[in-house]
Structure 1
């Protein structure tokens, strides 16, 4: 079952004079009905925060979407997209206005490369994500969050692994060791000696 929340807005003349205005925003989680052959009369940004699926824009080939990813929908171009059988979480915003042409010309709304890993196109701030962007690019989060959990909690390594996005604690320990230079257990022991 899918969870859906959405809101549609009608801008007034003051909003339209700003050159960029929101027409709607929403959130969907789970296995939603795929969007097939829809054509918008405005721009949309779709941010997939969990899961995976596919998108097809116009006559382009089908592209895989793996979270975290952002893709753009542009006016007048048919699109189809949706999650795989396990579902995904998506946030979307519809927007319009005269400024969108400028954003397209500057390459901020790329028609040729509409799907991108978020860390490739957006300079994410550590304060927003809680960890550095490189941790997102390199896979599930390990360094800051895992270190803090190991140093300040009594959680077992398996629980810490799950907290930072790993289902397999052995794989987590291997990646942690590669990045930090110590196993999770060695790191915890070291912190208890120095803390």
Structure 2
């Protein structure tokens, strides 16, 4: 089983930790953000670095850009893959992703397989949502989450819609996302909360639409 380490310097990452630890061995590490705007040298505690270095996959929700960059530069050649879940600006994203094993998705529920065995094992469980639907007549009797968004939104929607009718199910799935507090707008490129929520809603709408078509076909 792969080892995942989630790193944060603030309020983000706890929900991902609670979800991911159900499938993979997962560690959660909180770091103190550097103080001030101009940082000459960033020191990361050695005990934290030792724990992080044991990871196959690092997911960082660190908000301080200098600390994020320091982590990536020090660790990219010690782990299999780094997923940067919190970043701002295309220039900074390009700095991070110049390393072959670093990705900075616009949205954590964008993640899909890329051909790397370890990364693909992680993304088999967490990333772009995939569900399986079981119907009896017009009623949804079961929704199995095959791949969940790391924050748990897919599981939330599946639970909310189990027992509902299949009429307009994809639309209802997209609308349910509006009731799940997505934190992505505060962490990444888009400043418009509605734009980011719309992306997440459309991903779930598409996932439920594909699953419903497959259920009806079978």
Q: Same fold per TM (> 0.5)? A: no
| Larger Rg over CA atoms | 1
Structure with the higher fraction of residues in helix conformation: 2
TM-score (normalised: structure 1) = 0.32
What TM-score comes out, normalization by structure 2 length?
0.29
